[in-house]
Structure 1
């Protein structure tokens, strides 16, 4: 029997950022990782303090971005690479009214840091009404982040590549198969619906598609372009464009109408030929009040959940991993806005 401080179930942003807290505090752990890609692993990786439909910001935006930068530097200290890309978002304005609204909102105290007042024209795409740059926006190199961290944990025998079998969890002995543990944290995204301990938590699937395209005429590579969706280059020479939001069509295969929506959206501002080379989708675990769900099981003292990160998985996963660690190890209460207790 191998004794560990923690078992983490799930290898998305919640699981890996929590694992980083354990590395930092020298706790022993294993991560149970299924072979299929999580919604996190097919996400865009866009780090954005502004809701670009309405030009508003959200709860703890600046604190979350600052904490992410600090955390990625800590991860760099043992992985040897920083996966934060300086690729700010440039939002293409649909019309003059949007440009005026941007400038007006940029005078608000909560948005003045984020909405750059310098209106810019960018080459290679159709932006008749120019673009606004989002300060403090960036991108995570998603493929590298997951490969780098998962390989690091694998070399240290901290990665178990198999689906977690709930029937093998012995709650009275705090054991699972060949492991005994002090705490177990479930970070499963929509997989939580199969989890007998937390299947009733209030997460709702939101299906997101993205396409990868080969473009015929070059565009700036050091920025992230946004109109309806995000466009940016990927590590494999293609361009990512996405993603959609769908709470209705929740089947486990590609939805042609979502692909059509993406092709039309890209054609609006990229006036040249492009070829769709790949289509991916995932299910984001969203919560009605747009707050993560973090907490301890109501009947078991060492079983925890970290879920509901929604479309801001990177920021929520990173920032609240510390809240969960402090809650378990230092008995610091969770913020009521993210605590599982709010649904009791």
Structure 2
């Protein structure tokens, strides 16, 4: 018998596993890599919603937890996947600059918005009205993070690289049994794949498909993350990730020409240099109708739990929400009502 069984190994699953490891709990993971959102995402952590210059939901609480978490994970795995990069927000007008100054004067936003506007010194960028610089930002190489963590799990016989078949799960009074594994608790961290989970598919997972392109631009030479109507994210070796699109109608991981053309059109308004599209990826974000996470206990089965619904802010939310769920299970610490799935039990 192990303490926990985890299904899924994106940001939520990895964060929860790390809480277990750090607290000397025994666990195994089932993961078939069917959910690609965390792997193909831009990997940004940024506490500000840059369309409106407002703080992301509880980002001031989440960011310190995330910073400590990823630093600790880098040390444990002896790898580097966290790169501190500035996010520069392109202004479309003088009016936007003034709104930036207004926002930067608010107490909760002061730590994250630089009041000194950043000049553009890159001739390859079309920037008529300077930049606003966001502080405490950066980029995770999520694919490298997950590959490194899976390697450790595999070396320690903690992962089953296979699809989880829900109908084979036996839920007993004090444990769950799946094939040859018995666990005190099972935590589902499947991202958008939750829509196929018969225990939790009653929850209002909407899902939003996002697509990115990767370009090669030898004359761009940009080290900052640039935000206009799209994000331009430096990857090294003259490569940049550009995105993302938002599509709530298509529920798949298939790339589309429509999304590619949309990104290229927006990119052409930002760049004044030549580039070549060398990659194109897509994934389903686990978005929820009220834009809050899905965390908590199944209403009937007391050893079934869910950790999901982080949308496009998984990098900052996941370590914080995972710790909240772990503390709730182990010490009965209350869950924040805003993210507790009990809010939907009676829907």
The TM-score range, normalised by the shorter chain, is over 0.9
Question: How far off its partner does 1:129 sit?
Answer: 0.5
Question: How far off its partner does 1:157 sit?
Answer: 1.0
CA contact (8 A) 1:168 1:177 kept: yes
Tell me, in whole angstroms, the C-alpha distance in 2 between the residues paired with 1:150 and 1:58. 30
Question: How far off its partner does 1:8 sit?
Answer: 0.5
Question: How far off its partner does 1:119 sit?
Answer: 0.7
Deviation track 1:46-100 (CA, whole Å, cap 9, x = no partner) reads 1011000011113321221111111112212320134221101001111211111
What's the secondary structure of 1:220's corresponding residue? coil
Q: Please report the TM-score for the alignment, with normalisation by the length of structure 2.
A: 0.95
Tell me, in whole angstroms, the C-alpha distance in 1 between the residues paired with 2:220 and 2:57. 37
1:275 corresponds to 2:273: no
Tell me, in whole angstroms, the C-alpha distance in 2 between the residues paired with 1:81 and 1:211. 26
Partner of 2:241: 240
Deviation track 1:228-269 (CA, whole Å, cap 9, x = no partner) reads 111122266521011111112335422222111100111111
CA contact (8 A) 1:10 1:33 kept: yes
In structure 2, do the counterparts of structure 1 residues 47 and 236 end up closer, same or farther at CA, with 3 Å as the change threshold? same
Q: Please report the TM-score for the alignment, with normalisation by the length of structure 1.
A: 0.95
Deviation track 1:200-234 (CA, whole Å, cap 9, x = no partner) reads 1111110100001111313222x211111111222
List alignment gaps of at least 5 residues for structure 2: none
What's the secondary structure of 2:164's corresponding residue? coil
Tell me, in whole angstroms, the C-alpha distance in 2 between the residues paired with 1:107 and 1:84. 29
Tell me, in whole angstroms, the C-alpha distance in 2 between the residues paired with 1:57 and 1:171. 41
What's the secondary structure of 1:263's corresponding residue? helix
Partner of 1:146: 146
CA contact (8 A) 1:72 1:82 kept: no
1:187 corresponds to 2:189: yes
CA contact (8 A) 2:220 2:273 kept: no
What's the secondary structure of 2:149's corresponding residue? helix
CA contact (8 A) 2:35 2:191 kept: no
Partner of 1:48: 46
Tell me, in whole angstroms, the C-alpha distance in 1 between the residues paired with 2:95 and 2:69. 38
Tell me, in whole angstroms, the C-alpha distance in 2 between the residues paired with 1:235 and 1:168. 45
- Structure 1 runs, 4 residues or longer, greater than 3 Å off: 249-252
Kindly report which structure 2 residues correspond to 1:27-66, keeping only aligned pairs within 5 A, or say none: 27-36=25-34, 38-66=36-64
Partner of 2:22: 24
Partner of 1:342: 343
Partner of 2:177: 175
Tell me, in whole angstroms, the C-alpha distance in 2 between the residues paired with 1:251 and 1:301. 32
Deviates more, 1:285-294 or 1:233-242: 233-242
Tell me, in whole angstroms, the C-alpha distance in 2 between the residues paired with 1:83 and 1:37. 20
What's the secondary structure of 2:115's corresponding residue? strand
Deviates more, 1:57-66 or 1:186-195: 57-66
CA RMSD of aligned residues (A): 1.4
Partner of 1:158: 158
Q: How many residues align?
A: 341
Kindly report which structure 2 residues correspond to 1:1-344, keeping only aligned pairs within 5 A, or say none: 3-36=1-34, 38-122=36-120, 123=122, 124-172=124-172, 174-221=176-223, 223-234=224-235, 238-344=239-345
Tell me, in whole angstroms, the C-alpha distance in 1 between the residues paired with 2:220 and 2:238. 11
